[in-house]
Each structure stands twice: as structure tokens, then as C-alpha cells.
Amino acid sequence: MKPFDKNNPFKAPEGYFKKFDENLFKKLSSKDLAIPKKEGFKLPNGYFDSLNDKLQEKLNAEQTNKVVPLKSYKKYYYAVAAAAAVLVIALTVNLNKTEKIGFDDLAQADIENYFDKNELDLTSYELAEVMPIGELEMTDMFESNFSEENVLDYLNENTEYLDELNLEDNE
């Protein structure tokens, strides 16, 4: 025999598999077999003759046993219902929080685009009447983007005659 191996605890005697075929054929040829000569199972006489009637009686019986499911899914249904309720509540709370959009939320480009696309049919005199000139200071206009170079470029492009500017000769 081989010495004990920790990885393989099973043992077989030496030469067991070499002589296995010989030992098997000896046992099968001997009269003293471990296999029974007769079948081990018997059916009662007339078993299949009365089988159909017995099955019909059992099927027609009104007494039924309660079927118990092996796995209950109620806890999953409750979890799904709770998640759906939380989702519905969260959506209704968020939908009711609509913020009112004010004039400050509009971008300068959007306002300019609106005036470019829509004609107001107002003359410059009518616009001047609407503008609150009393609150404006002349320095407010020049603080934004009016540099001397920008003003001169504008005047060169948009005025045809210098007489329109009402300037004196020394200016």
C-alpha cells in the first residue's frame, strides 16, 4: 500500500485494479451470486383492471387539500409597492416646485434676439418718451462699452454728413 496522502484520503490495495477483471468474472461464473434469481417486485392480481375505477373515484372526490406554495412572493410585492409609492411622492413634490421665471433669468442675447425678430413699430421719438431719462446719467452710458475708438467708428459708418452731428469746426 502507498503511504497516506493528505490530498487524497482514499486507498485501494496494491494490485486491486490489475486483478479486478479476473475477480469479477470469477464471481459471475460461480453459483453463489449476490444477484437474486427472481424479480423483487410483484403486482397484486387484477391491479390494472381496477386501477381506472380507483383513479376516477379519487378525482371525483370533493375534498381537496389546501395547496401551500413553497415560495411566497408577498414580500417582493410589498417592496415593489413601497418603491412605487416613494417614486410617485417624489415626482409630485418635484412637479409642484416650479420656479417662476423672471426678467433677470433671460440672457442678454435672448432679449436682443427678441427685438431683432419682432418689430415694435415704434419710432425713436416714441421710444424716447417711454424711456425714463430723468433717472439716467450721461456717465452711465459711457461706463459700459463706449470707448472713444468705438464711438468714432460708429459715427464714420452711420453718418453721411458731418452737418448732421451739429459739431463746431474746432471739435
pLDDT band at 141 (very low <50, low <70, confident <90, very high): low
C-alpha cell at 106: 433671460
In the predicted model, is pLDDT for residue 164 greater than 70? Answer: no
pLDDT band at 79 (very low <50, low <70, confident <90, very high): very high
What's phi and psi for 68, nearest 5 deg? -105, 120
- The contacts of residue 2 (CB under 8 Å, 6+ apart) are 11, 14
The Cα 49–Cα 59 span in angstroms is 17
| Burial (0-12, 13-18, 19+ Cβ within 10 Å), 18 | exposed
Q: Is residue 41 part of a domain?
A: no
What is the pLDDT of the chain when averaged over all its residues?
76
Q: Is residue 139 part of a domain?
A: yes
What is the arithmetic mean of pLDDT over 103-131? 77
In the predicted model, is pLDDT for residue 136 greater than 60? Answer: yes
**Structural domains of the chain, count:** 1
Q: Is residue 55 part of a domain?
A: no
The runs of H, that is alpha helices, within the chain are: 20-29, 47-60, 74-95, 108-117, 124-130, 138-143, 148-158
Q: Is residue 90 part of a domain?
A: no
Q: Is residue 99 part of a domain?
A: no
Per-residue confidence (pLDDT) for residue 171, from 0 to 100: 46
Which domain range does residue 158 map to? Answer: 105-165
In the predicted model, is pLDDT for residue 91 greater than 50? Answer: yes
Radius of gyration of the chain (CA): 53
Q: Is residue 25 part of a domain?
A: no
Per-residue confidence (pLDDT) for residue 161, from 0 to 100: 64
In the predicted model, is pLDDT for residue 140 greater than 70? Answer: no
3-state helix, strand, coil in the chain (%, to 5): 55, 0, 45
The Cα 27–Cα 23 span in angstroms is 6
Contact at 8 Å (CB) between 2 and 11? Answer: yes
What is the arithmetic mean of pLDDT over 25-37? 73
0.85 surpassed by pTM: no
What share of the chain in percent tops pLDDT 70?
75
Per-residue confidence (pLDDT) for residue 45, from 0 to 100: 85
C-alpha cell at 147: 470707448
Q: Is residue 122 part of a domain?
A: yes
